[in-house]
Structure 1
Amino acid sequence: MALTAAAIVILTLVAMTTGRLPAVLALTCALVAGGLLGIASPSELFAGLSNGGVITVAAMLVIAKGVLHTGVVSRATYRLLSGVQTSGQALRRLIPPVGFISALINTTPIVAMLIPAARELQQRSGIPARGVLLPIAHATTLAGSATLIGTSSNLLIASLAAPAGAKVAMFSFVPIAVPVALVGWAVLLLTAPAMLRGRTEGADRDLSWHAEIPVAAQANAVGRTAAELGIETTVEFELAEIRRQGKPAAAESVLEAGDRLIYRSTEAGVRILWGSPRFSLSPKPLYLVAIATNEQARVRDLEENEDIMVVAAQTTTALRDTPAAAGALCLVTSESVAALDDHSLVGVWQKAAGKAPQTGKTWIALLILAAVIVAGSFGFAPVELIAVAGAAMTVLTGVLTPRSAARALDWNILAIIAGSIGLGTIVVKSGLGEHISEAILTLSAGKPALVVLVLAVSTTVMTNVVTNAAAAAILTPVVLTIAARTDLNPVLLLAMVGTCISFTFLNPFSHQSNLMVMRPGGYSTRTFIRYGLPLTAVCLVTVCVVSWVLLTYWH
């Protein structure tokens, strides 16, 4: 049976690694095969669908979206990047705070928020985005392994270890993950300026769009100048004038509530301005609209329907003076697509950008996150129950709408985690886990230092060729068996494996954050390998030394 299970596991991992099958489909086929061959019962194979780790991951995705929806990460990022002159300076300012946040919420949306900030930094200061994005992605991955809720693989490890009596708490990963993260950050800071040099090819921008951006009363732009905020001039837009109570004000004026900032911009520049947390714009999506027919109307006539507001148009004149010519393009906001469908001036439309960040609920979102962390740390209730309660409060307090909360759930990730748990069940029930454990113990001669080395290297290799969830599901039962036979602390061994699972530095396809920055930063697979090798080597040495010391002297 162990040989059959080994064949299923190997074929599944090969299919996932080569991309011949989607990860979810490969895992599903493995579970079906395991059930038909009698390796495990259906209830055991599909237990991942009700696993506490999967439930916690789903709830934390909602809480994370609530925090990010307030724009607090964007606001902090723009402030940190104000006045930076080099990529090294940008990394020194960003890595510690971003790393701290990454230990508390899922890293993927954090990286997503940092991409536009890096692009704006490139436009404003000429600092290439490629010198910032990859180090930040790696820094967040390292920091994410420091807490139970920082990454889905840690939650999966904890849920699989609990039935065996190994209690993994909120900060069980800290003694190993934090020293490794600090050393890894130092490597990133030292190597990034030299290894990620290069410029993004520039091109003349056609600033043919006229945008009028209002400053809301609660906007954090109030009381500061456009230059201080970094929203005066970039490659994508430039401030033409400030309108205050219908009259022009000097461009260097301190902004006030009710001001309207007039920009010459590219279409991408309008989307950047709309997505900026500086203005506290309304929570409505941005739509690209093409005017249907000539009706001797003006672009502002689109606002006859009170649900529609015109933000920008492809024109050189004020929006109130711009003719609504057939085929003319505008960027508008609307309460609903029905308002666009029903308007006589609207020919076709498409969504151009998501909702602007909503700053009013910032403290509520942060308090919910803090409450989840504190309650989980002190064990007031099972962590999955605490996380679900936090997700529910995120909706009940209005931080997210029920629809937005539902959209925060990444069903592909949740299905991969649930399927990986089933794959781990095949490893355990077939006896394959015992054989793997025996091989590791034989290879290491049962010596703690060699056990640590073999596990660390094996985990690092596996996490760079398969998903984090699959690596965690396969290795957790193996680690528990090794701990039982060698009398080593199982929680520390699991913390070491959880830390090594974050070493996804060599393969751009091994972590979602890698894929997200690959195109914006202009990276190739060769870049990942060249930049990732020294980082991986140093992190491996560090994790082995720290783990060996703790396993030897901390009982």
Structure 2
Amino acid sequence: MTLEGWIVIGVIFLCLVFLVGTTISIDLVLFAGLAVVFILGIIPAEQALSGFSNEGMLTVAALYIVAAGLKETGAIHYIVKRVMGNARTVKKAQLRIMSPVMVMSAFLNNTPIVASFIPALERWSRISNIPVSKILIPLSYAAILGGTCTLIGTSTNLIINGLMIEEASIRSLGIFEPALVGIPCAIAGFIYLFIFGDKLLPVRGSSMDTFQDPREYTIEMIVAEGNTLSGKTIEDAGLRNLPGLFLIEIQRNERAIPAPGPYEKLREDDRLIFTGIVDSIIDLQQISGLKPATNQVFKLNAPRNERMMIEAVVSRSNPLTGRTIKEGNFRDRYDAVVLAVSRSGERIDQKIGDITLKSGDVLLLEAHPNFVQKYRNSSDFFLVSSIEDSSPVTYDKAWIAGLSLIAMVVLAATGILSMLQAAIVAGFLLLVTKSFQYSSALESVDWRVLIAIASALGLGSALQYTGAAEYLAVNLLEFAGDNPTMALASTYLATWLLTEMITNNAAAVLVFPIALSLSQSLGLNFIPFAMIMIVAASSSFSTPIGYQTNLMVYGPGGYRFTDFIKIGLPLNLIVATIAVSLVPYFWNF
């Protein structure tokens, strides 16, 4: 192997050391590694930048936009609510998320599934008080394991099957043939995660981490007519255990029901009075069937999905000080609606319009984002600040988002369009129907994840360009000798290690001709080797960089590099043992 190849291996090793031993972000470490390789002149610019034009990376970017549309229209919140139900423990939450995701990933591309679920699970985590770090790695692993169960589960399976037909002149695999080994691996992975997931996964990204501000608001919501909440108990409606938020009273037909119990049934037009912190009030706004008690929100000029929540502190010079919100025509004056008022921990037992404003009152507003720029330096308010991720969900266009998702999956699964083309079509449909704003689409893209993916692909390209990848693969396979089982195990090991360092597709393409040559030299049937590569190329559990769904959950889950090693390495060994044991049983050498 050339000196350049050894340098690339050394740079990748140093990147792994930094990722394991420091808290430096993964995108910075990987981009720095790529920059070193490029600056040293080891690879040309087109190789270094190949990851930034890679179809897989661009697909992830497009899927972020689709996921944002699903999130802002409320479609994915509805799906997650149905899937997660009233899970109140980590094990139940993991069980509810892994089961359907494994099944879906067997027939659909796992990347859009994970991309769609991440934002909704983050919000569900805040509501359920279950740390998101306990469920996002199981989400990614379940999607990976499910993809190994059918020929169409991942693009890697299709690539290997195509190589078998074109380069090896071997029969095509049946669509459910990988299930013979994929299902046992998926079941074993499911059991392992269910038993050890809670113990081995860290407690990070917990919903309570954001509850640092003790300021509480009193807010009123109304049970809308003709919705699914009517007739449900408070507990079944999900209003009982909202963290940092308490239902203190129900007003029904001029009658007050103080401190309602969990089994009190809701009725249409019930006025619900909550007290709590702003994070939970944002979550409250996302619950389908509830609407703000003040009808002023429906009289603002901007559509609701273009607005956001803003906190503003009333100053002494505000012209409405000493007047009620209604008398001062707050909406007309500021083009904003007061949703709630916080006054030094004091509970205000009045309807919003009847509250007399005082200097120092903190107002929770719903307004267009330009309110912040307009009144930030105004003498009317001491302080004006926007609240991130607080746009109200209207659910009016949830069906458009749902149809866009279905169209994307069908177009990609049937091969009419590539995954990237299908994702672009779905994103375009969401934007052209104004399901959400273009600015929100741009803000929804996690650029750090994209940089990490592109940099990892660039380093993988460097491994291939310098011949280091082929050198590693050949030397790993040389350990096999004349033993068929050892040859199979070596093929698995080579494919898995390269998958963790480059990408699953690149690893499969690289190992395929070497494994084919090995099988032919030993006079063995190649089908077992193809099946072992299908499993190994998707078994990226030990690092976040080997599989794009792992990278996608890395940031939102607040994970560290070592978290994947801790829970993923035992899973790698379990899957490897099952695959190497079962493949020769189903496909003879």
* Residues in 2 aligned to 1:492 and 1:351: alpha-carbon distance in whole angstroms: 53
Contact between 1:280 and 1:358, CA under 8 Å: does it hold in 2? no
Which of these residues, 337, 362, 366, is aligned with residue 402 of structure 2? 366
Amino acid across the alignment from 1:291: V
Q: Which SS does the other structure have where 1:444 is aligned? A: coil
Amino acid across the alignment from 1:97: P
Q: 1:352 aligned to 2:387?
A: yes
Contact between 1:143 and 1:177, CA under 8 Å: does it hold in 2? no
Amino acid across the alignment from 1:390: A
Contact between 1:308 and 1:339, CA under 8 Å: does it hold in 2? no
User: Match for residue 72 of structure 1?
Assistant: 75
* Residues in 2 aligned to 1:50 and 1:8: alpha-carbon distance in whole angstroms: 21
Q: Which has the larger radius of gyration?
A: 2
Q: Deviations over 1:259-293 (max 9, x none)?
A: 54211223333233234455377423222222222
- Residue 136 and residue 213 in structure 1: after superposition, are their counterparts in 2 closer, same or farther (change >3 A)? same
- Residue 208 and residue 223 in structure 1: after superposition, are their counterparts in 2 closer, same or farther (change >3 A)? same
Which of these residues, 438, 447, 472, is aligned with residue 474 of structure 2? 438
* Residues in 2 aligned to 1:187 and 1:274: alpha-carbon distance in whole angstroms: 37
Q: 1:326 aligned to 2:349?
A: no
* Residues in 2 aligned to 1:344 and 1:246: alpha-carbon distance in whole angstroms: 40
User: Match for residue 6 of structure 1?
Assistant: 6
Q: Deviations over 1:172-208 (max 9, x none)?
A: 987765542332112222335677899x999999684
Residues 41-60 of structure 1 mapped to structure 2, 5 A cutoff: 41-60=44-63
Contact between 1:437 and 1:479, CA under 8 Å: does it hold in 2? yes
Contact between 1:225 and 1:255, CA under 8 Å: does it hold in 2? no
Residues 227-238 of structure 1 mapped to structure 2, 5 A cutoff: 227-232=235-240, 234-238=242-246
Q: Deviations over 1:466-514 (max 9, x none)?
A: xx6735476345323323423545864553233211454999x975535
User: Match for residue 185 of structure 2?
Assistant: 180
User: Match for residue 195 of structure 2?
Assistant: 190
Q: Deviations over 1:96-141 (max 9, x none)?
A: 134456636252662443244344334xxxxxx36x8525532432
- Residue 81 and residue 476 in structure 1: after superposition, are their counterparts in 2 closer, same or farther (change >3 A)? closer
- Residue 26 and residue 378 in structure 1: after superposition, are their counterparts in 2 closer, same or farther (change >3 A)? same
- Residue 62 and residue 540 in structure 1: after superposition, are their counterparts in 2 closer, same or farther (change >3 A)? same
User: 1:528 Cα deviation (Å)?
Assistant: 6.9
Which of these residues, 469, 472, 483, is aligned with residue 515 of structure 2? 483
- Residue 109 and residue 27 in structure 1: after superposition, are their counterparts in 2 closer, same or farther (change >3 A)? farther
Contact between 1:423 and 1:474, CA under 8 Å: does it hold in 2? no
Contact between 2:372 and 2:386, CA under 8 Å: does it hold in 1? no
User: Match for residue 435 of structure 2?
Assistant: 399
Higher deviation after alignment, 244-253 or 218-227: 244-253
Which of these residues, 513, 520, 531, is aligned with residue 553 of structure 2? 513
Higher deviation after alignment, 427-436 or 158-167: 158-167
User: 1:333 Cα deviation (Å)?
Assistant: 1.3
Q: Deviations over 1:287-345 (max 9, x none)?
A: 22222225223456543347312222214112334343222222221123336734764
Residues 150-299 of structure 1 mapped to structure 2, 5 A cutoff: 177-192=182-197, 208-216=216-224, 220-232=228-240, 234-243=242-251, 248=256, 252-256=264-268, 259-277=270-288, 279=290, 282-283=304-305, 284-293=307-316, 295-298=321-324
Q: Deviations over 1:209-237 (max 9, x none)?
A: 21123445575434534332121454522
Q: Which SS does the other structure have where 1:326 is aligned? A: coil
* Residues in 2 aligned to 1:381 and 1:68: alpha-carbon distance in whole angstroms: 24
Q: 1:117 aligned to 2:128?
A: no
Which of these residues, 329, 332, 337, is aligned with residue 309 of structure 1? 337
Residues 9-28 of structure 1 mapped to structure 2, 5 A cutoff: 9-15=9-15, 17-19=17-19, 22-28=28-34
Which of these residues, 92, 95, 98, is aligned with residue 95 of structure 1? 98
Contact between 2:69 and 2:401, CA under 8 Å: does it hold in 1? yes
User: Match for residue 107 of structure 1?
Assistant: 114
- Residue 32 and residue 328 in structure 1: after superposition, are their counterparts in 2 closer, same or farther (change >3 A)? same
User: Match for residue 126 of structure 1?
Assistant: none
Contact between 1:24 and 1:412, CA under 8 Å: does it hold in 2? no
User: Match for residue 499 of structure 1?
Assistant: 538
User: Match for residue 134 of structure 1?
Assistant: 134
Give the gaps of 5 or more residues in structure 2.
293-303, 520-525
- Residue 333 and residue 17 in structure 1: after superposition, are their counterparts in 2 closer, same or farther (change >3 A)? farther
TM-score normalized by structure 1? 0.78
Contact between 1:161 and 1:477, CA under 8 Å: does it hold in 2? no
* Residues in 2 aligned to 1:29 and 1:526: alpha-carbon distance in whole angstroms: 24
Q: 1:422 aligned to 2:422?
A: no
Which of these residues, 386, 389, 412, is aligned with residue 422 of structure 2? 386
User: Match for residue 296 of structure 2?
Assistant: none
Amino acid across the alignment from 1:429: Y
Q: Which SS does the other structure have where 1:96 is aligned? A: helix
Identity, % of aligned pairs? 18
TM-score normalized by structure 2? 0.74
- Residue 438 and residue 314 in structure 1: after superposition, are their counterparts in 2 closer, same or farther (change >3 A)? same
- Residue 55 and residue 530 in structure 1: after superposition, are their counterparts in 2 closer, same or farther (change >3 A)? closer
Give the gaps of 5 or more residues in structure 1.
123-128
Amino acid across the alignment from 1:483: A
Contact between 2:114 and 2:140, CA under 8 Å: does it hold in 1? yes
Contact between 1:64 and 1:106, CA under 8 Å: does it hold in 2? no
- Residue 450 and residue 551 in structure 1: after superposition, are their counterparts in 2 closer, same or farther (change >3 A)? farther
Higher deviation after alignment, 59-68 or 525-534: 525-534
Which of these residues, 447, 454, 458, is aligned with residue 411 of structure 1? 447
- Residue 115 and residue 388 in structure 1: after superposition, are their counterparts in 2 closer, same or farther (change >3 A)? closer
* Residues in 2 aligned to 1:176 and 1:361: alpha-carbon distance in whole angstroms: 41
Contact between 1:48 and 1:421, CA under 8 Å: does it hold in 2? yes
- Residue 422 and residue 94 in structure 1: after superposition, are their counterparts in 2 closer, same or farther (change >3 A)? closer
- Residue 212 and residue 99 in structure 1: after superposition, are their counterparts in 2 closer, same or farther (change >3 A)? farther
- Residue 42 and residue 397 in structure 1: after superposition, are their counterparts in 2 closer, same or farther (change >3 A)? same
Q: Deviations over 1:341-370 (max 9, x none)?
A: 347643322222422334222332222222
Amino acid across the alignment from 2:371: A
- Residue 353 and residue 422 in structure 1: after superposition, are their counterparts in 2 closer, same or farther (change >3 A)? closer
* Residues in 1 aligned to 2:51 and 2:115: alpha-carbon distance in whole angstroms: 22
Amino acid across the alignment from 2:360: G
* Residues in 1 aligned to 2:451 and 2:237: alpha-carbon distance in whole angstroms: 42
User: Match for residue 125 of structure 1?
Assistant: none
Contact between 2:536 and 2:576, CA under 8 Å: does it hold in 1? no
Q: 1:32 aligned to 2:38?
A: yes
- Residue 391 and residue 552 in structure 1: after superposition, are their counterparts in 2 closer, same or farther (change >3 A)? farther
User: 1:59 Cα deviation (Å)?
Assistant: 2.1
- Residue 530 and residue 22 in structure 1: after superposition, are their counterparts in 2 closer, same or farther (change >3 A)? closer
User: 1:7 Cα deviation (Å)?
Assistant: 0.9
Q: Which SS does the other structure have where 1:288 is aligned? A: strand
User: Match for residue 301 of structure 2?
Assistant: none
* Residues in 2 aligned to 1:137 and 1:390: alpha-carbon distance in whole angstroms: 26
* Residues in 1 aligned to 2:178 and 2:456: alpha-carbon distance in whole angstroms: 21
